Amino acid sequence: QVTSVVVYSQTSADVILKLFAYRDIKDSPIDFGEFFTSRNRLSILSVPIVSRGNILNIFYVFANSMWTLILMAFVMNSFINSVVIKDYWNRLGVVFDYFGVLVGQSIDNMIFAANIYIFQIHINISIGFWLITTFVLRLMFTSDIEASISAKRTLYLDSIEQLVERPDIVPLIKAQSNAYYMIAKEYKSLTNRFVFISHSDMFSANVIRKLVEESHALVASEQSVRQVMSYHNRYPWHLCQNSIYPQIVTFPMRYSLKSQLKHKLNRFYR
């Protein structure tokens, strides 16, 4: 059945709309019942992020033997303060008490407390001097510490999980796109960090400046990302291709086609 609808415009030309429909579903030439597996490849476009040197990298330089020596220093300090000094002064106090009884005099306990405190200070100073000397010798005989502090590490975004782990990186994504719905379904924490842009904004100078100069990353389909790379090919882009999301979709095909031919036509949609 063919239905023609004529709409008369008051300002410009007339518009004629034609709607083709079939009453019986058996007469429909389109088949929506075949399910196929489609792969929607998402990519992340960014520039390599160079991180600045961190002084905390010094903790990764020392070998296990060096950390063992430092741990032994603290253990020895605690052992001397809690066991050796206490036992030594307790025994010495008993001797002084016997001596006081013999001569008819007593020893003030404050003398023992003062001596114990002074001895502990001497032990702490010796152990602290040992730690500082070990650190200075390490600086004199190797440059690993200086290299680790001033080293710059390059970060490449190769997965969406890295965007989740790095809150300092702002993801750019097209609004109401398939990429947004697929990521928001599995990574809900990223929905609050997304900055929505349009398709035309992907090629604008403002977005390119954010990708190159600021910590931004573009999340879109591989085809869209490659268009941006070809249009602005002078920048050191890094393209991630590790994010592939399989989907089950339907494609409109004729009922009269055989199943083998339908599967062959399905290859053009992948």
pLDDT digits (tens, 9 = 90+) for 117-172: 566 666 667 667 777 776 766 665 555 555 555 556 677 888 888 888 888 888 88
Please report which confidence band the pLDDT of residue 32 belongs to, taking 50, 70 and 90 as the band edges. Answer: very low
Q: What is the 3-state secondary structure (H, E, C) of 108-134?
A: CHHHHHHHHHHHHHHHHHHHHHHHHHH
The Cα 232–Cα 211 span in angstroms is 11
Q: Is 32 strand, coil or helix?
A: coil
pLDDT category at 9 given cuts 50, 70, 90 is very low
- Encoded amino acid at 105, one letter: Q
Q: Report pLDDT for 144.
A: 57
Judge whether residue 268 has pLDDT over 60.
Answer: no
For the range 50-59, what are the long-range contacts, defined as Cβ-Cβ under 8 Å and sequence gap of 24 or more?
A: 50/152, 50/153, 50/154, 50/155, 51/152, 51/153, 51/154, 51/155, 52/152, 53/148, 53/149, 53/150, 53/151, 53/152, 54/149, 55/149, 57/148, 57/149, 57/151, 58/145, 58/148, 58/149
Q: Which residue has the tokens 């088949």?
A: 31
Residue partners of 30: CB distance under 8 A and separation at least 6: 252, 253, 254, 255
pLDDT per residue as tens digits for the range 193-245? 888 888 888 888 888 888 888 888 888 877 788 888 888 888 888 888 665 55
Q: What integer pLDDT is reported at residue 177 of this predicted model?
A: 76
Q: Report the predicted TM-score, pTM, of the whole model to 2 decimal places.
A: 0.45
Please answer whether residues 229 and 43 qualify as being in contact, where contact means their C-beta atoms are separated by less than 8 angstroms.
no
The H or E element containing residue 101 is helix 85-103
Query: What DSSP designation does 18 have?
Result: E
How distant is the alpha carbon of residue 17 from its chain centre? Answer: 53
pLDDT tens-digit profile of 36-94?
545 556 788 888 877 655 666 556 556 566 677 667 767 766 666 666 656 665 655 55
CB atoms within 10 A of CB 12: 6
pLDDT the model gives residue 123: 64
- Residue in 98, 29, 39, 26 with CA at minimum distance from that of residue 222: 39
pLDDT at 201: 84
Residue with tokens 């600045």: 52
* Furthest CA-CA distance within the chain: 131
Is pLDDT above 70 for 11?
Answer: no
Better-predicted residue by pLDDT, 23 or 219:
219
What fold, for 31-51+155-269?
D-Maltodextrin-Binding Protein; domain 2 (3.40.190)
CB atoms within 10 A of CB 129: 10
Q: Please state the domain extents for the chain.
A: 31-51+155-269, 55-150
